[in-house]
């Protein structure tokens, strides 16, 4: 009898000890947030700069989008970036409105009703909106707007390429086509530091000496216009094209 009681006491104590070792909640516990390996958030992709994003520090112009620099002549001043980018927005809006008006006119024209569209080779089916941007405009004394006619002057610009005339040589030929211009140097290719530009030099109908260099960068034509009042001055100013450095 004593042995039975002793066995019973041992069994009871064993059961109590086992119950104390079990967690209060019988449900399986989930791994804690601290013990689980933390998932690192994917780094955000860097924001792409605007097409016309550019700065001038000292005499160095830099295009953040096209990734190149150009050295202005000493002492020259560039148009304020805020005024330049505002003008770009206005030009884009005007071009879009003009394209919409031309498309509406073509659609409503009685000459096109019932007639199949002509297969114009590479001509676009609709009027394209050519994105045009000023990247920089500079003169010795500075500018108040892109419309200023002050000379001498340097303009750097970018136009989105639109077929069929979307090569640098096409642009160089168009610069002298249909104008009463005197050609000083006909369209030709010229290479500086491994980069090939199309170049043309002319005297405009208004008497300005104009040198243009065009290069393809991605989906854009990027141009450098040098405008002066004399050929000697043009030669000196256009020679600054050699300071262009691509990353």
Nearest to 224 by CA among 205, 244, 206: 244
Domain boundaries defined on the chain: 54-99+127-246
Pairing type for strands 54-57 and 245-246 reads: unpaired
Nearest to 56 by CA among 70, 44, 46: 70
Name residues whose C-beta falls within 8 Å of residue 182's C-beta, 6 or more positions apart in sequence. 202, 203
Pure H helices in the chain: 2-21, 81-108, 168-176, 231-238
**CB-count exposure of residue 157 (10 Å: 0-12, 13-18, 19+):** buried
pLDDT for the residue numbered 128? 67
Both tokens assigned to 193:
């530091």
Long-range contacts formed by 42-51: CB under 8 A, 24+ apart: 50/85, 51/131, 51/133, 51/158, 51/220
Residue listed under structure tokens 């013990």: 35
Name residues whose C-beta falls within 8 Å of residue 143's C-beta, 6 or more positions apart in sequence. 77, 78, 79, 137, 150
Indicate the CATH number for domain 54-99+127-246. Answer: 3.40.1000.10
Q: Please tell me what DSSP assigns to residue 164.
A: T
Please list the residues that pair with 216 across neighbouring strands. 221
Q: Mean pLDDT of residues grouped by 10 in the chain (247 residues)?
A: 43 44 48 53 79 96 98 96 96 89 77 48 57 97 93 98 94 88 96 96 95 98 98 97 96
CA atoms of 116 and 126, how far apart (whole Å)? 14
Q: Is the Cβ–Cβ distance between 247 and 68 less than 8 Å?
A: yes
């Amino acid at each position: 009898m004593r042995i039975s009681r002793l066995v019973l006491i041992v069994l009871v104590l064993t059961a109590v000890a086992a119950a104390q070792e079990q967690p209060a909640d019988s449900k399986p516990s989930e791994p804690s947030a601290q013990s689980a390996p933390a998932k690192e958030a994917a780094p955000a992709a860097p924001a792409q700069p605007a097409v016309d994003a550019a700065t001038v520090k000292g005499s160095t112009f830099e295009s953040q989008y096209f990734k190149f620099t150009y050295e202005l002549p000493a002492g020259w001043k560039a148009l304020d970036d805020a005024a330049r980018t505002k003008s770009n927005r206005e030009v884009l809006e005007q071009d879009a409105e003009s394209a919409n008006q031309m498309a509406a006119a073509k659609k409503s024209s009685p000459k096109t009703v019932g007639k199949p569209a002509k297969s114009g080779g590479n001509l676009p089916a609709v009027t394209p909106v050519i994105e045009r941007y000023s990247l920089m405009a500079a003169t010795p004394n500075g500018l108040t707007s892109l419309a200023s006619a002050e000379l001498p002057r340097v303009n750097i610009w970018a136009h989105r390429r639109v077929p069929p005339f979307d090569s640098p040589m096409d642009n160089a030929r168009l610069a002298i086509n249909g104008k009463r211009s005197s050609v000083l140097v006909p369209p030709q290719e010229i290479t500086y530091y491994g980069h090939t530009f199309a170049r043309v030099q002319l005297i405009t109908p208004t008497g300005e000496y104009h040198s243009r260099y065009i290069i393809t960068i991605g989906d854009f034509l990027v141009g450098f216009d040098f405008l002066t009042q004399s050929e000697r001055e043009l030669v000196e100013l256009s020679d600054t094209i050699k300071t262009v450095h691509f990353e």
